[in-house]
Amino acid sequence: MKKEAQTAEDYANIILNDEREKIVTETPTVYTDDVIERIYTFADGAVVKYEWQNSPSGRTSAAERYNHRFSLIETPQPNPLDLKKGIIKVINYPA
């Protein structure tokens, strides 16, 4: 049976749901009380950067005021859905 291609949001949801069996590697790159960054690699070659911020204080632009952000930094190979590098999902602070 052929495996179905992942959408960009599928990668973010795999990380959010902590589906470890679908993640090849998870590498912390920044870990402080206010900021966490991790790089996730998937079997199809896709690489996603996950960023978390404790609070929006001190952030000047709307793009900097997120709670969780997922960015595709390497596309899967092959790339049948023609996914593009960039931000794939943002979860903002509760209103």
Q: What is the per-residue pLDDT across 15-73, written as a single tens digit (0 to 9) for each?
A: 999 999 999 999 999 999 989 999 999 999 999 999 998 876 665 566 667 889 999 99
User: pLDDT at position 61, please?
Assistant: 62
In the chain, the DSSP E strands lie at 25-31, 35-41, 47-53, 68-74, 86-91
Under the banding of pLDDT at 50, 70 and 90, the label for residue 1 is very low
Tell me, what's the pLDDT at 8?
A: 95
3-state secondary structure of 74: strand
Record the pTM.
0.86
pLDDT the model gives residue 5: 79
